[in-house]
Amino acid sequence: MSEQKYTAEQLEHIRSTRRFDLRRIIGGVFVVYGIIVTIVGIADPAADVKPTGGIAINLWTGIGMLIIGIFFLLWDHFNPVPAEDIVTEELREEELRAEGEGHAPDLPTQIGHPTD
């Protein structure tokens, strides 16, 4: 991945897009909640064993959430959004925005009903 061919503004946009990638956000939320639920399962294992038929559900759910969260974070780390896709999308959006500005309908200068 050669990112030297991009301008400083494009590099900042690439970093910003990658920083707020949905996989990173979902992974972070799963890891945080996984830690909390795992701690609850370790701290009070008898609280959830009777209603679930002998399974420490908080502990197993917390571990599962940790695994899923780590998977999302590793997926984002090893397979980031390609810089070419980010820059191409940004350029396409700029073209559409410029197109829209050029085709804006003429608005009347006076407010009210026209007189015949």
- For the full predicted model, state whether its pTM sits above 0.85: no
Domain hosting residue 58, numbered range? 17-85
- Percentage of the chain surpassing pLDDT 90? 41
What tens digit of pLDDT does each residue of 46-94 get?
A: 887 888 888 899 999 999 999 999 999 999 999 998 988 888 888 888 8
75 part of a folded domain: yes
When divided into structural domains, the chain yields a total of 1
67 part of a folded domain: yes
Torsion of CA 91, 95, 97, 98, to 10 degrees: 130
109 part of a folded domain: no
58 part of a folded domain: yes
DSSP labels for 17-52?
HHHT-HHHHHHHHHHHHHHHHHHHHHH-GGGTTTTT
